[in-house]
Homo-oligomer: A and B are copies of this chain.
């Protein structure tokens, strides 16, 4: 049932003729069986994107040399940016939370049932209210209380923890602290946040109140990579639900939780499947 290990290569570079051929040729000649290939050309800017996955059990180049060979033979001559991943290596993910439990539960339940291919070595929080959930799921809980004064030093400790645990991805699962520009800059395209509105509408705080006041007929949620500009990072996933005048603010919050859960989980899933390629303020999502 377990599929054989794959190499997954994500590429982007200036567009030119023959790129698909060049890459598939590299895989094929070295006895890799391509299991999926997606490509996209952003015509306005002339940029080529590609995701290719192949079985490596018969591949002529040893797994630890694939990156080096690809870089020298293919990437450098074609000015490619690239990432290489292996399907049998589980990345480490840290979950940052505050007091709301819905996204945390949802992620942990999916992890438990094998839907999210990762390890979760840490739940980090500026509060202790959700420590019991970490205990329920037997995951180490780290408490970093944050005030305006302590923020800088606490972030340093958080970064030490992340580096020590070898965390690849940070998920802000309704973490109610704005990360400093330094923190954002330390993990480019490695922090996913869920914002509780359909961005770019209702940036910043209290989006449900703003949605109520504006009288919108849809509410939404947005999962995006975090950049130093608040709520402006590349969007990975969005969804909405229909609402009406009947829903008061508390109903919007209740209905919104459902959207937040599924949008955040979907974004994390796509990231872990190596299907997301951020590019400027946009993402290419090969789903």
Contacts and interface: CB of A to CB of B under 8 A. Distances in A.
B258 A240 contact: no
Interface string A21-62: 100110110000111111111111000000000000000000
B198 A248 contact: no
Given A245-B284, A254-B115, A198 B213 contact: no
Contacts of A39: 36-37
A4 interface: no
B40 A20 contact: no
Given A101-B113, A115-B254, A215 B283 contact: yes
Nearest to A203: B201
Nearest to A112: B101
In this complex, the interface size class of chain A, counting residues with CB under 8 Å from chain B, is 35 or more
Interface stretch (A66-74, A140-148, A163-171, A216-224): A216-224
A285 B245 CA distance: 7
A283 B245 contact: yes
Contact of A113 (B43, B102, B237, B242): B102
A98 to B, nearest CB: 14
The 3 closest A-B pairs by CB, nearest first: A215-B282, A201-B201, A21-B28
Interface of A: 17-18, 20-21, 24-25, 27-28, 33-44, 101-102, 105-106, 109, 112-113, 115, 136-137, 198-202, 213-218, 220, 234-240, 242, 244-246, 248, 254, 258, 262, 280-285, 287
